[in-house]
Structure 1
Amino acid sequence: MSLYVKALEEMRDLLASQKAEIINAALREKRALTPDDQSKSDNLDTALVDADKRLQAARQHEQREADIEASLTQGRKGAGTEERSDFDKFIRESRAGDGFDLQFRASDIERRAMSATGGTGKASVASTLWEYAVEASEILAYAQVMSTADGNTIPMPKATVHAEPGATDIPANDPIPEDDSTITTVDLSVAKRGYLTFVPNELLQDATFDVEGYIARNAGRALGLNVAQAAVAAAIAGFTTQGAVTPAGVLTGLGAQNEVGQGSDLLVDLFHSVIAPYRTSASAAWGVADLTAAVLRKLKTSTGDLVWQDGLTAGNPSVVLGKPVFIAPGFDTFAASKKPIFFGDWQALVVRIAGGLRFERSAEAGFKNDQTAFKAIVRRGAVALDPNAVKFLATPAV
């Protein structure tokens, strides 16, 4: 169990204890809850629900990391044994074209075969997928991640307008007013990225540490980062609703901290531009680039308090206005006509991996130079399904 999960469990237990104390005090005194007691109890209930969601997500994250680590190192030869593992055999004995499967093994990532595209396939919209799938890169801890066996294009549902009740009450026998949602489809396709690296055979034969394991782990990290970069690009292209804008002339930051409508006020505006069901979701978070994160870390409220609150333990995300912040390359930094800060429910971003991560070895490819080649490949894509689920802070043109 990680320190982060343990801290979340302790926080949840503390909240439960505080609620129980309020109830028990009323029971001991043989009285009903006072309005103040009831308000405190309701607030604790809300905090407990949020703590349970965070704890569940953290446990899933921890399990995901364990599954990925197991998939990268499965079967490695145990200390004191002579039996060669599957991965060891692959490294030492495989021939050209042999591959070692680094498939994602998270049990709650949906796997399914895809139908052919075109024709009637376009009329069949893929089911909405709203399950958590946490991987190594930060943005993937909040977005949906789906894994498919092949790379056929999938039409996904995209909601641009949501139906709402009318503005007035409906008397008996009166007709119900019509208000339709606007749902279209957006193609979720995949593209391939990868690399080839050559390693001297002397290094593989003579090294006293696990060279092959290091190469495999590096491949997983590198490909995972590329998937995250594709996810950020899809977020910028698909989340097109502006939630707040910096004042004219404020291009390199959030403006003066002591000016109304600038500084932390802009973050509050962006936060509340997202409707409550999205901003209260367990997957609601801020997405920024590193340089933007540096601006936020130095930002203070009108009372002098830092807006950015660091996580208290390892693995505990930093928060702004009570919501986690993740940093990912590819987001805009502050400049004219940019979108440096995104906030909302990242479940509306679907990230797809087709065929898992491929990691292959060939002794023949580098035969002339006495080298062994390792190839790492991923087919990935991403789309945003609701432009209102995540909104952005914009900077003016000048």
Structure 2
Amino acid sequence: MSSRSALPPFDPADPLGLDDLLAPEDLAIRDTVRTWAGDRVLPHIADWYERGELPGVRELARELGDLGALGMSLTGYGCAGASAVQYGLACLELEAADSGIRSLVSVQGSLAMYAIWRFGSEEQKQRWLPGMAAGEIIGCFGLTEPDHGSDPAAMRTHAKRDGTDWVLTGRKMWITNGSVAGVAVVWAQTDEDGGGIRGFVVPTDTPGFAAPEIKHKWSLRASVTSELVLDEVRLPADAVLPEVTGLRGPLSCLSHARYGIVWGAMGAARASFEAALEYAKTREQFGRPIGGFQLTQAKLADMAVELHKGILLAHHLGRRLDAGRLRPEQVSFGKLNNVREAIEICRTSRTILGANGISLEYPVMRHATNLESVLTYEGTVEMHQLVLGKALTGLDAFR
């Protein structure tokens, strides 16, 4: 048995020694993204959040493209070809800055680019992916509708044939990047060859396409969120994604994006925990730091346990994805657990900060309100519970 003196010191920032699971290139990517977020986002994010806008989003997208963060785990067409774990580490660091920044990257790479990369024609890939990987073209993903969120099969957006063209009509709602996008991947019902849901690659300068921005949000305020309005948008025959029909297309994209959320939520949790830990060591009440009281230490210990369990879970799922063995039910497992625990960590952190916890001088309340959106987008808690319930019992309780 090795002697105790041979043990490495305990690291409060990495109490389980999870960095030992990472290769040097993993750490380099993580640290590069962390440095970028610290330089370009953190000095400004409180102001952006308070103003309810994300100024310079196109410049930020180009910088993220230079980092290789857009379509990061995709191969070819200017994409970085990083591992799933490396992409997850990037998501964690981006969301540690703000959920809105991670959402920009997630929608660009895991939804819009992934849809084209996996289901598009070679011509579509060559036309769009290099510019999107570079951040020169921003993409959005139109699935959710005003009346149909958790039930995308009931979508009303419709595409009909007119000669060799397609004509799209409908509305999409809560679309990240919508009003700044140069291309939209839009899912619509069709009636050709027995019908089915199809995906369409829509240049946003096409007549009939509009993307009014959604204002007055109390969550994801430093993020561009829009409605998509399609008023008889005429597209050529080659605008359709040729390699998929039905819900398998959009749902596989969502699964890819949810994987990034599993990591990202832990970034928001980490930032809040670190703020609470530092505050507890410096804030004095009754003549000593509040971190010296048992109740505060109990909160910190419980938060640390859930935070690093969540990171370990994300890492495990990433290894499975890299091995081609990650199932959608396992992604649901990760999103359900990690977002719920991240919100609880933020709320507990707020209690340690007391009244200061509601101030934008600290990141805690901003992360907490952002996570309220992350909790329900790309699958609500209830939907992921039912996914797992069906997998566990073999019985479908969705309807």
TM bucket normalised to smaller: under 0.3
**Greater share of strand residues, 1 or 2?**
1
Greater Rg by CA: 1
Q: TM-score, normalised by structure 1?
A: 0.25
Q: TM-score, normalised by structure 2?
A: 0.25
